[in-house]
Structures are given as C-alpha cells and as structure tokens.
Chains A and B, each alone.
Chain A
Amino acid sequence: MQPNFFSYGHTGFELVTALIKILFMVLGFLMPLASILTWLERRQSAMMQDRLGPKRAFIKLPIIGKFYLFGILHFVADALKFMGKEDYVPGKAHKFLFMWAPIMAMAPALIVAAIIPFGPDLCWGHMTEVVANGFCPRETGVAGPVPLQIARLDIGLLFYFAISSLSVYGATLAGWASHNKWAMMGGLRASSQMMSYEVTMGMAVLGSFLVYGQLEPGAIVAKQTEVFSLANFGSSWGIFLQPLGFILFLTAAIAETKRTPFDIPEGEPEIIGYFVEYSGLRFGLFFLGEFLEIVTSSAIMVSLFFGGWHLPSGIEGWLAAHLPNVAFVLVMFALWTMKVFAFCSFQLLIRWSLPRFRSDQLMRLGWQRLLPISIANVVVTALIILWAQRS
C-alpha cells in the first residue's frame, strides 16, 4: 500500500516540512531579527548614552500618511543604500576569494540555526485540538508530530562548533584577499581570537553535556521543564545547573562574534579590520553576518541555559491543557522569540558598556584565565555528578 503523503514518517512530508521550516527560520526569523538589530544597536546605544538615535525614517502610506514605527525602517533605508553603492574591488585583490569571503562569513551563522529548537512539537493531525501534556500521538495515516527544529541531529552542539568555527574563514580570507596590510592584520587577529575562544566555548558546553547527557539541543531543552526546583534539580534551567558554564559560554560567544570588548579584529580606531576594503552590499553581508551570529549565539544560549521555549512548568502545563495545539505552539514560539531578543539586547548592552581589550590581554584572558576555569568547571561538574550517582 502506498503510504499517504500526510502519514507518519513519510519522507516527502518530512522534506517538505523541513523546507518550510528553513524558509520560515531564515526569512521569517533570522533575517528580520538581524536586520532589526542593526537598527536596535544604534537606537539602544543612543538611549544608553542619553541620545535619541535614528528615529526619523518613515514610509509614506496612501491613507495613514507617514509611518514612523520608532525608526525601525532605518534598516530598510540602510539596505537600499548598500544596494546603490559601488561594488568596488581593489586592483590587487584576489578576486575570487574577495567575492566569496563575505558569504563565507555569513553562511555559517545561517547554517547553525538548523539545530535550534524554536517551539514544542506541532501536532499535524490534531492542530485545532487540545493535546494533553504536549504529547502528540503517532498514528498511522496521520502525519506525526512536526518538531519545530530544522534538523534533529544527535551530534547537535558538535555541529554548532564545526560550523561556527568555519566563520573564521570568512574573516581571515577577507583580510588576506583584500591585499591590504590592515585588513591582513585584522584577519590574523580574527583567526587567533576565534581559535582561542572556541576552546573555552567547547569546554563550557562540555559541562552542560555532562549534566544532560545529550548533545542534541532539542533534547536538552526538553529536559529543562522547571525554572528552578530543589526537589527536581535535574530539570532546572541550565543557568542554575551550570552558572559558571553560562558565564564562560557568554564570554566566549561574544568573543566569537568579534564585538566589543573583544573587537580587536575590527578595532575601529587602530585598524579598520578585515573588511576595510569592502563596500556596498558585500560590506552589508559582513555587517549582517555579525548580527546573525549574535542571534544564533543568543538562541543557543537560550536553548542551553534558559530553557529554550519552556515556561515555568505550571503555566506551561495550564496553557497546554487549555489551548489548541497550534495556539500553544505559537505562544511558546513567541515566548522563545522574546527570550532570544532579550539576549540579543543584552549582548548589545555589553557591547556599549565595556571598553576593548588589548590584544595580549585578550589572549591572556582566553588561555590563562578562561580555559583553566572552564576545565575546572568540567572536572567539578563531573565529580558532583559522580557523587550524586553514588549516593
């Protein structure tokens, strides 16, 4: 019997939903949020520094008139400006690598989003009904639960490291291909910095791995059902299980995004950075890629340490028991979006509050401070788990 397209486990259905999820994540979530962050960074920093920031861009609608929206439309104006600019390639630049470096810098941030869980399972066959405890029955003939996660990879976080470390190629190749010593310097600094902090990042995540016994972000999120409970400590949010791991991961993640206080690859007052020769839309790609990295690293942090899309279990259980499945999923997605947005905003806050490290200070912090602390965190976590299992 030919299985129905909308039946559980049909490959075509899985592929089509995966494609829809990819389109939704990229066009409906990552790109808009990253674009808004380019505006938010300016507006929020202005508010922090007692200024007003960009608020004057508007669109003229036929009946309503001028539509300001607090100036969010500045990012549209910026994008249009980038498109109108000359695409200049320096004469001695390596044309091919110069062309591809911005894409190599941006693409990893998009690919990494594949493993981020952004909502509870969508119950295809029972979307308008209340699904008790979020448990979706797997019936034959009815398409099963659609996990709101593009790829449920068992290697999960390893995939994240593998792909996000690729983005160093974008920076380094851009610096090398520009045939400009300042760009070269920026590229070298970017590579040394990102390599150094990846070690700490991996070690920080190792603690979470020991606690949850999983590398798959969806499964890790599924375990963090409570915000904080002493009785069921294992299902608290990751921030309570791995507080030190969170600080280490946050530090390393900011270093990975190459933003202040770790922005020596850019270092506006000294070297402009690896993208000094870029203009127009190619520079726009670097710019957007930086903000995409903020979004994805925030999403990973939310998944690992702040319970992903989970609410405190009482409220979540009540919602699941009273709302139809599709509404429940939407509410949880909105909640997750708010969490990610808050984290992005927090990263902007850090970026506009702290001064930049010197290059040697950065290396000393990475190798002599953060790395030993993260190893100690792993060891202590392992010992505590061993003790908990024995007793």
Chain B
Amino acid sequence: MAVGVKVVNRPGGLAQQAYLPAIAEGLGVTFRHFVKNFFGNVTGMRHKTDIATLEYPEEKMKYPERHRGLHRLMLREDGQVRCVACMMCPTVCPAHCITIVAEEAPDGRIEKRPKIFEIDELRCVVCGLCAEACPCDAIRMDTLEHAHPTYRRVDAILDKEELMSRGIQSSAVQGGVGAFWREKVASAPQTPPSGDVSPRGPAPGPTAVTDLSRK
C-alpha cells in the first residue's frame, strides 16, 4: 500500500452496502415524477404536472409588472400625444436613442408638442431613465413587449404614431394640479385609493388628489 493512504471504514450495515434499498428508493422518486407528468400530459392537464418546460413560441412567460419593455407614448383625454417636448428624456438617455423635434401646438392651451418623436429600439439599453425623467407621464416602458425583430435596421426605429398606437389615456392630470396642492390634499375627503394597492399600503404623503394608480 502506498505511503500516506488512510483506509476509511465506511459506515452502514448490509442494507446500505448492498445499494439495493437506496436504488429502489431512487427509482421510486423518478418513477413517481414520470407517472405524474405522463398522465397529466396524456389527459391534457398540464397544470397538474411538474413540467417546467415552456413551449416558447406558443406559450410565453408572463413578464413581471415592472418589466421594462417597448416604449409607448401616453395620450391626453382627446387622444393627442401627452408629450410636451420638454427634452428631458433625450437629455437623460445614456444611449442617445430618442430624437425629438418640437413644434408649436395649434391648441392654445399647450405650448409645445413633438413634431417628430423617434426611438431607436436597437440603440435603447432599456435602462428606464426616460420614463423616470418624464415630468408628465408621457413616455412609459410598461408595454410588457420586448423590441420586435426586424429585417432592416430602419424598421427598429419607432416613430410617433407607432409609439402612440400602444398608448392609453393617463390618469394623471396634465400640467399637474397647480400650486398649493398640499393644502388641497389636506382638505380633500380621504378616499381609499382604487385599483391595485401596494402590499405596504398607501404611501405616506400626497396621494389622494388624483387617482395615481396606474391603468
């Protein structure tokens, strides 16, 4: 025997050394899984099986609610674009993927609106800073879609109409609620916020002026 070899006496009795009980147990585990998945699959009850496979093109995983996906431009009450071309989002964008050309709005109440609003989805790094920077809830990334594959690069640049086509009407008040909103909060009747409530309960501070819950 070579130098320094330490003989280890393995524990366990005959049953453990014969492997067979352990093998039977292991076969039992795999067989149980097989039977459960097989019959669940044959009878069309996929949800009752343990199968984790997602058959991708047909079945898609549901993205979490805060998933940052394709951009969209939100709409006003009359269906116009909500964006006021303040240039916050192209300024903050680290990838320089947003192009805005502003123009004067025909509506007297609104100063500016985007003439051109283009986002190059191939350049976008999906950081979400644009949606964070937007002062009037005009740009969002909550479509739960990711950038669509295209044959030409130019097709990945989404224009204003395309971005607006996914948009919905925002519940936020355009232009804000004005000065002295804190006093309005204090005087307004405290209604419980409708829609989905965060598990931590309503956030402290000004909430009840307008319904800030999304969608």
Interface assignment of B52: CB less than 8 Å from any CB of chain A? yes
Tell me if A69 counts as interface (CB < 8 A to partner B).
Answer: no
**B23 proximal to A (CB < 8 A):** yes
Report whether A353 and B51 are in contact in the complex, using a CB–CB cutoff of 8 Å.
no
* Cross-interface CB contact of B38 among A47, A49, A247, cutoff 8 Å: A47
List, in ascending order, chain B residues with CB within 8 A of A349's CB.
Answer: 27, 30-31, 34
Query: Closest CB-CB distance, A106 to chain B, in whole Å?
Result: 29
How far does the Cβ of B52 sit from chain A's closest Cβ, in whole Å?
Answer: 5
B190 at the interface (CB under 8 A from A): no
Question: With contacts defined as CB atoms under 8 Å apart, how many contacts are there between chain A and chain B in the complex?
Answer: 43
Is A52 on the interface with B (CB-CB < 8 A)? yes
Classify chain B's interface size: 10 to 19
Contact residues, A49-67 vs B (CB, 8 A): 49-52
Given known contacts A47-B33, A47-B34, A349-B30, A52 and B55 CB-to-CB distance under 8 angstroms: yes
- Residue from B26, B34, B41, B55 in contact with A354 in the complex, judged by beta carbons closer than 8 Å: B26
Main secondary structure on B side of the interface with A: helix
- Asked if residues B33 and A354 are in contact (CB atoms below 8 Å), the reply is no
CB < 8 Å: which of B26, B52, B55 contacts A353?
B26
Nearest chain A CB to B153 CB, angstrom units? 32
Q: Does B20 contact A (CB under 8 A)?
A: yes
Query: Does B26 contact A49, Cβ atoms closer than 8 Å?
Result: no
A51:B52 contact, CB within 8 angstroms: yes
Nearest residue (CB) in A for B29 is: A353
A174 to B34, CA, bound (A): 35
Closest to B27 in A: A353
Kindly identify, within residues 11 to 65 of chain B, every residue whose CB is under 8 Å from any CB belonging to chain A: 20, 23, 26-27, 29-31, 33-34, 37-38, 41, 49-53, 55
A350 contacts the other chain (CB 8 A): yes
Given contacts A50-B53, A349-B34, 16 further A-B contacts (CB under 8 A): A44-B34, A46-B53, A47-B41, A47-B51, A48-B34, A52-B51, A349-B27, A349-B30, A350-B23, A352-B30, A353-B23, A353-B26, A353-B29, A353-B30, A354-B23, A354-B26
